[in-house]
Amino acid sequence: MSTFNAPRITARSIVKYTLVTLFVGCLVLYITFQARFLITGPEITLIHEPASVQNSPTVTLEGTARNIAKITLNGRQIFTDQSGYFSEALVLENGYTIATITATDRYGRETNVVRSFVYTPTSILTK
């Protein structure tokens, strides 16, 4: 007759497996938390939304950009400070102008913010 020796479950082995499970769980949570920037991709937020109809020939676009490698305004590269803040002047043509801010991250993902402006000089308004 053969005897089967079942492994003994001790308090020490329960504590050991519990600690290993907690460590692995915390490691997975930490990696997921740190990867959130890689998962979300580039983000652009305009701080001040300029009016669509402008009487001035220039408008300033201000905002913040996160998780970016490159940012452009109508295809022209612009720059941010260390906190991601940018402020860029845009010269408006008579009539309709479209401003496109494009941010690209290091993996090639893009996000765009498109705003349209109508420039009406004050001399036209007063006539």
pLDDT value of residue 71: 97
Q: What is the pLDDT along the chain (127 residues), one digit of tens a residue?
A: 566 676 777 888 889 999 999 999 999 999 888 887 778 889 999 998 899 999 889 999 999 999 999 999 999 999 999 999 999 999 998 889 999 999 999 889 999 999 999 998 876 555 4
- 34 is a domain residue: no
> Could you tell me which residues come within 8 angstroms of residue 40 by beta carbon, excluding any fewer than 6 positions away?
67
Q: Which of 102, 101, 111, 100 is nearest to 40 (CA)?
A: 111
- 103 is a domain residue: yes
Backbone angles phi, psi at 66, to 5 degrees: -125, 150
User: Which residues span the domain enclosing 79?
Assistant: 41-126
CATH code of the domain covering residue 92: 2.60.40.10
pLDDT value of residue 2: 60
- 7 is a domain residue: no
pLDDT value of residue 40: 84
Q: How many residues in total does the chain contain?
A: 127
pLDDT value of residue 43: 94
* Pairwise CA distance, residues 87 & 99, whole Å: 14
Q: How far is CA 82 from CA 65, 86, 120, in A?
A: 10, 10, 36
- 24 is a domain residue: no
Query: Bridge-partner residues for 51, per DSSP?
Result: none
Q: Which of 42, 51, 59 is nearest to 112 (CA)?
A: 42
Query: Bridge-partner residues for 118, per DSSP?
Result: 53, 96
Question: What are the structure tokens assigned to 101, written together?
Answer: 């801010």
* Pairwise CA distance, residues 102 & 109, whole Å: 10
CB distance 109 to 71 below 8 Å? no
pLDDT value of residue 98: 95
pLDDT value of residue 101: 97
